[in-house]
Structure 1
Amino acid sequence: MIVVIGGGPAGRFAAARLAQAGREVVLVEREAIGGQCLNSGCMQVCALNDAARTMERAGEFAAAGVLDGVPHLAFPALLREMGAVQRTIRGVLDRETRAAGVEVRYGATARVEGRKVFIDDEEVETEAVVIATGSRPAVPPLPGTDLSGVYTARTLRTMPGLPAHLVIAGGGVSAVEFAYIFSRLGSQVTLLARRNLLGGLDPGLRRLARKELAGVEVREHAPLTRIVGTTRVEGARYGGEASGECDADAVLLAVGLVPQTSMVTGVEKGPHGEIIVDDQMQTSVPGVYAAGDAAGPPYLTPLARLQGVVAAENILGHEMKYAPRAVPQAIALANDLAFCVEDGDDDEIALSLPAPAGPGSFWSVPKGDTGMGKILVDPETGVLRGVWAASPGAGITATYLAEAMRRKMTVFDLEDLIEVHPLADGVHGLFAQAARLIREREADNKPPESGPGTR
């Protein structure tokens, strides 16, 4: 028997692959299948962002006289119906997992002590174990985090109503996505970032993100230091050079994730509790594997799935190494801000253009916010090395261009691309420009041909 602990993307993919290969597999899930992605992460953001974009577009139509006013948002109903859809998806995942031949045990607890595995405190014999216990939202050790009105992504669904003034602590992707969502749903939002907002992101996308956060009060280099209140939230204090205090009736902590591995001992761990693994996802103990958020950042669902498959293949005796490259990512605001970039040289060619108006962005023309497209190209070979896109479907653009990057496709391969029209993507028109620029550079640098009368 093989035990998989955790029913998120990593655990589910590992369990299904092992069961499809004919192995007896038990998947232990203490709470709900689907993991953080479905229950408090990606899908929750999708649900709330859809509502936020709808409210923003309704506001634009109302301002233009197209709609007679902005519809009222029933926030409790939004959370209730979001939960209903999540339950439907959990049912689908449960059926798919069982159909693969996996035995699923809900409500059970599991722990690992070196090579020993316990389910509900009973030791079980295992051929191998895959630890895919996921992560939890980080809660900083600050005064006031135990007050009523303090939330994380995991407890957000318990909000009784839309906060009038929400303080969000964090400066990364999750904090920015929630700032956009709640500002468009109707809250006054203050975002407290410990450092620069979205530090490390391409400057062009970062400028667009700031533009799409119009109406959000963003305070950079202002770390949350204390949540103020007696029994419930009344305000928040922050540090930094411009330290101060702001009113709030709710605080959302979006300061990162922490691997959830307290139930695992006897294996090597990192400073934040992440389980140390090799490129086959095996831990320091033979036969014990870890995958997904339990193995540490970058906490991305597609990589968690891949890690689960790598662990399963190696348990089956099929050597497979975890070595991802050209990994696309996206931030969901009014547009998707998507990107995929590989390390390169400083002399690479960078080209960018505003995105054209198209599906989902036509009505953004008056405010000059149709998005952008940018590519990074090797000047010698024309190989695509990076892509940045901001548009309603930029995540799809980045997905397929990341595959082009993995296959080392060049702008010469892509310059004759014919797109569906109309398309709100600003990237597709850049390939021909980059190819032409490289050809012109080559022509300028080409020595003159020798012939009669030349020396």
Structure 2
Amino acid sequence: MKSYDLIIIGAGPGGYVAAVEASKLGKKVAVIEKKKIGGTCLNVGCIPSKAYLKHAEWLETMAEANQFGVINEVKEIDYSKLVNRKDQVVGQLQQGIHYLFKENKIDYIEGEAEVISNRVVSVNGAKYETNYLLLATGSTPFVPPINGLDQVSYLTTDTFFEMRELPKKMAIIGGGVIGIELAFAMAPLGVEVTVVEVAPEILMTEDEEARTIIRQKLKKMQVKVLEKVQIKEVKQGELVLDNTTISFDELLVVTGRKANLQLADALNLEKTENKKFIQVDRHYETSEKNVFAIGDVIDTLMLAHAASKEGIKAVRYMFGKKEAPLKNEDIPKCVYTHPEIASFGLTESEAQEKGYDVLVSKTPYSNNGRAISGNETTGFIKIISEKKYKELLGVVIVGANATEMIHTILAAKQAEGTLSEVEQMTFAHPTLSEMMGELANEMLN
């Protein structure tokens, strides 16, 4: 029986990053994956959706150029070529992970893992022994019990990116981050998109003012957004709501994800109170000694970069270096719409609930020279601080390059910086980032 210091089940962003970290610590590592290397993020999530959003951006840019005298015309969209480009992007990144495994002498085993015990794993009839076991098995799309849905063909994120022809009409059930991003990806290509959300508003996890801006942009893109609706029934080509009927060529269901807990059940691991996740301690160890879990199977933010950092911290703990667990308020959240949304930390109401004497201010993109010259004036930067020490409690950025800019001020927070440290930085001019320094200055005076 082949032996390892660590066996990781799941080759997504949590699993493969953890494997590389363990290898760098001099450990013998194997990674087991039953689907495709790279997991959900690389194959049917973060990466392909960003490729599609780039295609949409090309068309938006062409339309914008027309307004200012650069006259152009889109004669045809060859959707198959856009899909092929997405496949090339995914393939290139898959090869990159294979290269990492080879360089770090990590064994990659394709097949479905069966856990015999906390020390023994079986794959394709072969058994492997390990000192530590890390579960990074991710999640799958959650499909709600909607009347008639099981009788019609529909897409989830697992199948959306296999679509080879552009539909004329698409209905999207789910107005969360994924549903809204894919609406932004499809509408500029000429697809008539309708987003149906049963919650009071779309993007309920995001800042209220950010939601308003995105809703306005969706309206401008002629995307129908129906909020607080009741879905009565789904028929082939029709979505029957309480007060209207939506017709579609393709139906996309993006109503959240559920953790893959089959291996947790096989090991009889303790679960969270709601039974939806694996219970872990502050070092990501489960109720079974030497068995750890990270990513979508534990009750933290379902984000690729969160899983990666959790994997690193879990591995370092296994092999002798204790670190503080990842805090949700230190994890950047990003929505890749146009404009983008990026945020971290506490909201104003959350800060007040924690007893802070809250100090909040924001500055609009429309005051910034770089934004004006680049015709990117939609959006704002908002900083949530407190009056006594001027700590950085939270930040929301809505606008161009928000998902890149957020890291500047997050780095300041990670270094225990305050508004003063941000204000003292010298930002290049003209840049969008200089709005951070200007806003900090305003809040200090």
TM-score, normalized by the shorter chain, greater than 0.5: yes
Distance in 2 (alpha carbons) for counterparts of 1:279 and 1:59: 50
Q: Which residue of 2 aligns with 1:221?
A: 228
Distance in 2 (alpha carbons) for counterparts of 1:74 and 1:146: 31
Deviation at 1:252, TM superposition (A): 0.9
Once the two structures are superposed, residues 304-339 of structure 1 have per-residue CA deviations (whole angstroms, 9 ceiling, x without a partner) of 011111221222133334232422111111122111
Deviation at 1:201, TM superposition (A): 2.2
Q: Which residue of 2 aligns with 1:378?
A: 386
Instruction: Write the mapping of 1:335-346 to structure 2, written as runs, cut at 5 A.
Output: 335-342=339-346, 343-345=350-352
In the alignment, residue 325 of structure 2 is paired with which amino acid? Answer: Y
Structure showing the higher helix proportion among its residues = 2
Deviation at 1:341, TM superposition (A): 2.3
Taking structure 1 as reference, are residues 308 and 20 closer, same or farther at Cα in structure 2, changes over 3 Å only?
A: same
Distance in 2 (alpha carbons) for counterparts of 1:87 and 1:418: 40
What TM-score do the two structures reach when normalised by structure 1? 0.87
Instruction: Write the mapping of 1:244-283 to structure 2, written as runs, cut at 5 A.
Output: 244-264=244-264, 265=266, 266-270=268-272, 271=274, 273-283=276-286
Q: Which residue of 2 aligns with 1:439?
A: none
Once the two structures are superposed, residues 45-100 of structure 1 have per-residue CA deviations (whole angstroms, 9 ceiling, x without a partner) of 21011111111121222344422323532212111111111101110111012211
CA RMSD after TM alignment? 2.2
Distance in 1 (alpha carbons) for counterparts of 2:232 and 2:271: 29
Deviates more, 1:138-147 or 1:370-379: 138-147
Does the 8 Å contact 1:259/1:296 carry over to 2?
no
Taking structure 1 as reference, are residues 223 and 300 closer, same or farther at Cα in structure 2, changes over 3 Å only?
A: farther
Q: Which residue of 2 aligns with 1:199?
A: 204
Does the 8 Å contact 2:83/2:164 carry over to 1?
no
Q: Which residue of 1 aligns with 2:444?
A: 435
Deviation at 1:124, TM superposition (A): 2.9
Q: Which residue of 2 aligns with 1:52?
A: 56
Does the 8 Å contact 1:212/1:333 carry over to 2?
no
Once the two structures are superposed, residues 9-55 of structure 1 have per-residue CA deviations (whole angstroms, 9 ceiling, x without a partner) of 11112211222222221111112211111111111121011111111
Structure 1: gaps (5+ residues): 437-455
Distance in 2 (alpha carbons) for counterparts of 1:373 and 1:321: 29
Counterpart selection for 2:213 from 208, 212, 219: 208
Counterpart selection for 1:141 from 140, 145, 151: 145
Deviation at 1:370, TM superposition (A): 2.6
Once the two structures are superposed, residues 168-207 of structure 1 have per-residue CA deviations (whole angstroms, 9 ceiling, x without a partner) of 1112111111111111221111111111211242222111
Corresponding position: 1:315 with 2:325: no
Report how many residues are paired. 425
Distance in 2 (alpha carbons) for counterparts of 1:90 and 1:421: 38
Paired residue secondary structure (1:154) = helix
Distance in 2 (alpha carbons) for counterparts of 1:38 and 1:350: 37
Deviates more, 1:126-135 or 1:377-386: 377-386
Once the two structures are superposed, residues 289-316 of structure 1 have per-residue CA deviations (whole angstroms, 9 ceiling, x without a partner) of 1111122441111210111112212221
Deviation at 1:355, TM superposition (A): 0.7
Does the 8 Å contact 1:329/1:398 carry over to 2?
no
What TM-score do the two structures reach when normalised by structure 2? 0.89
Instruction: Write the mapping of 1:21-32 to structure 2, written as runs, cut at 5 A.
Output: 21-32=25-36
Does the 8 Å contact 2:392/2:417 carry over to 1?
yes
Instruction: Write the mapping of 1:105-254 to structure 2, written as runs, cut at 5 A.
Output: 105-106=109-110, 108-115=111-118, 116-146=120-150, 149-195=153-199, 196-214=201-219, 215-229=222-236, 234-239=237-242, 243-254=243-254
